[in-house]
Structure 1
Amino acid sequence: MFGFNEEEIAWFGLTFGVSAFILYMLFIIGQLAWESKAGKFGTFVLFLALAFGMVGFIAKGVIQWIIEK
């Protein structure tokens, strides 16, 4: 497709696509905290609980970058 092979399309989707999705999810969590008037501690707990799964994806990218270097 457009001169790209399957590996390049998958790399693009996994890096930029999932990263954009993570940023959008952080925006949604921030909106949830803002609309519920959670306060500082409540906002921290929301981000900790709901965004903790994203840490694994980010850590995977950092570990791959370190190993390839």
Structure 2
Amino acid sequence: MSEEQFTNVSLIVLLTGLIIFIGFIIWDLGKKSNAGKFGMFILFLVLGFGVLGFVLKNVLVEFLVLKQ
């Protein structure tokens, strides 16, 4: 396995783990603050948009780089 392959695989695995961990942090934040169902929905919606934007940015960059 080359360094480039290792970097690509570890980036995917570690970023997936980080995103799951961020989801756990959002869930824990809502639980500790007694947010309720609607509050938990808003927390995941608003804070999840940041993670979604990060992922979409990377996907778009990959597609634009692959087209060239």
Q: With structure 2 as the length reference, what TM-score do the two structures score?
A: 0.72
Instruction: Report the CA distance between 1:49 and its aligned residue.
Output: 1.1
Instruction: Report the CA distance between 1:41 and its aligned residue.
Output: 1.0
Q: Which runs of 5+ in 2 are unaligned?
A: none
Count matched residues. 61
Alpha-carbon distance change, 16 to 58 in structure 1, aligned in 2, over 3 angstroms: farther
- Match of residue 5, structure 1, among 2, 5, 15: 2
Q: With structure 1 as the length reference, what TM-score do the two structures score?
A: 0.71
CA distance in 2, matches of 1:22, 1:28: 10
**Percent of residue pairs identical:** 36
CA distance in 2, matches of 1:53, 1:11: 22
What residue is the counterpart of 2:43 in the other structure? 46
